[in-house]
Amino acid sequence: MIKRVLSGIRATGRLHLGNYLGAVKGMLELQNDPGYETLFMVADIHTITTPFNIDELRKNRREVITDYLAAGLNPEKSIIFLQSEVSEHIELAFYFSSVTTIARMQHLPTYKDKVKQHPGHNTMALLNYPVLMAADILIYKASLVPVGIDQEPHLEVTREIARKMNQQYGTDFPEPVRFATKGEYIPSLKGEGKMSKSVEGSYINMTDDLDTIKIKLSKVPTDSGKEGGPIPKIGGVRSLYELYKLFAPEKFDEDFTKPYESGLIRYQSLKNHLAEITYKELKPIQEKRKKLETDIAFVDNVIKEGAEKARTIASKTVNEVRQKMGLL
């Protein structure tokens, strides 16, 4: 049987390099493998689990679709859609919530982090975040999910829900696993934590021009460069290390390891070179994006057709579940 793949990104803004390297690159790899049927959505309902602005949300849903298409997701190969247009996800999430304890949800590190970030906004929707994500994946019986490593706790919950549903109601949900890319964890440009939209100064946007990338990289904190010895796997040096390794693997030893070990590394020129090779990869994506921005009818059509195709699969699963649970 052909394997299904599903992934999504919340509609919180333009995509950054962490999203691209940790998630979108995995989506592209699987889309272009004929062994898989791929579905990629914008998780716009997940976006309302933390405080949001209505106009921004409306705009960002489309921005993420446009970023997907610009990066190479192809509506002829993948089903590309908005989560909110397939309301069956919400229905299935409610059924799933009947096999999920509150305690399990409250102990998730992702939940605790979000409550810390938004202390006045500890809502039912936020607590239900992983249950809705499980529904997103299992409604298509997807077994492979290209996401960054930070999403692993949510996949664990998805597998638990699949197991419980199968045991209690005789459904046939798979236990999905994460599809990891080489960039499954891109560190922040600030040298602490991961690159993230919610931390100003931590990220490079996929739409940044060369000068902006140069300025951002020039601010990455480093050591003196004269230390020598093994490269430290912490702080800004690690961030540069991870990015350099991904963008220039063949020159990594020559440009990074050897100069570092001998205490001769010159960060300024290394950063400039990193900016150039990063931009080189982003430039064609940015050019394609510019064209897509003016092709409103094309993007509208992708969204419309994607929803129709997704709905056909989703409604079938929901009907099966209703039947098995005695609701039909």
Contact 235, 191 (CB under 8 A): yes
6 binds, options ligand ADP, ligand TRP, none, Cβ within 5 to 8 A by partner type:
ligand TRP
186 binds, options ligand TRP, ligand ADP, none, Cβ within 5 to 8 A by partner type:
ligand ADP
Tell me if 147 contacts ligand TRP by CB under 6 A: yes
Tokens of 59: 């705009």
Partnered with residue 154 across adjacent β-strands are none
Task: To the nearest 10°, report the CA torsion of 271, 272, 274, 280.
Answer: 160
Interacting residues toward ligand ADP by CB under 6 A: 9-10, 12, 18-19, 21-23, 147-148, 150-151, 183-186, 194-198
198 binds, options ligand TRP, ligand ADP, none, Cβ within 5 to 8 A by partner type:
ligand ADP
Q: Which residue has the tokens 């940044």?
A: 208
Residues in contact with ligand TRP, shown as a per-residue x/- string from 19 to 58 under the rule CB under 6 A: ------------------------x--x------------
> Which of 4, 5, 6, 138 forms a contact with ligand TRP (CB under 6 A)?
6
Tell me if 5 contacts ligand TRP by CB under 6 A: no
DSSP letters along 80-125, please?
EEEGGG-THHHHHHHHHHTT--HHHHHT-HHHHHHHHH-TT---HH
> Which of 70, 73, 80, 145 forms a contact with ligand TRP (CB under 6 A)?
145
| The amino acid at 293 | E
195 binds, options ligand ADP, ligand TRP, none, Cβ within 5 to 8 A by partner type:
ligand ADP
- Report the distance separating Cα 284 and Cα 292, nearest Å: 12
Rounded to a whole number of angstroms, the minimum distance from the CB of residue 261 to ligand TRP is 37
Rounded to a whole number of angstroms, the minimum distance from the CB of residue 22 to ligand ADP is 2
62 sits in the region (left: phi over 0; alpha: psi -120 to 50; else beta) called alpha
Contacts of 272 by beta carbon, 8 Å cutoff, 6+ apart: 214, 217
Q: Which residue has the tokens 């493998």?
A: 33
Alpha helix locations (H) across 223-295?
235-247, 252, 258-261, 267-294
DSSP state of 253: I
The site that binds ligand TRP (CB under 6 A) totals a number of residues, namely 14
- Report the distance separating Cα 260 and Cα 264, nearest Å: 6
Rounded to a whole number of angstroms, the minimum distance from the CB of residue 192 to ligand ADP is 12
176 binds, options ligand TRP, ligand ADP, none, Cβ within 5 to 8 A by partner type:
none
User: Which segment (3-11, 57-65, 92-100, 227-235) binds ligand TRP by CB under 6 A?
Assistant: 3-11
Burial label, 93 (beta-carbon count in 10 A; 0-12, 13-18, 19+): buried
- Report the distance separating Cα 183 and Cα 180, nearest Å: 8
By beta carbon distance, the residue nearest ligand ADP is 22
| The amino acid at 316 | K
Rounded to a whole number of angstroms, the minimum distance from the CB of residue 129 to ligand TRP is 7
Rounded to a whole number of angstroms, the minimum distance from the CB of residue 186 to ligand ADP is 4
Question: Parallel, antiparallel, or unpaired for β 36-43 and 78-82?
Answer: parallel
By C-beta, is 6 or 161 nearer to ligand TRP? Answer: 6
Tell me if 151 contacts ligand TRP by CB under 6 A: yes
Q: According to CB under 6 A, which residues from 120 to 139 bind ligand TRP?
A: 133, 136-137
18 binds, options ligand ADP, ligand TRP, none, Cβ within 5 to 8 A by partner type:
ligand ADP
**Residue numbers at the binding site for ligand TRP (CB under 6 A):** 6-10, 43, 46, 133, 136-137, 145, 147, 151, 154
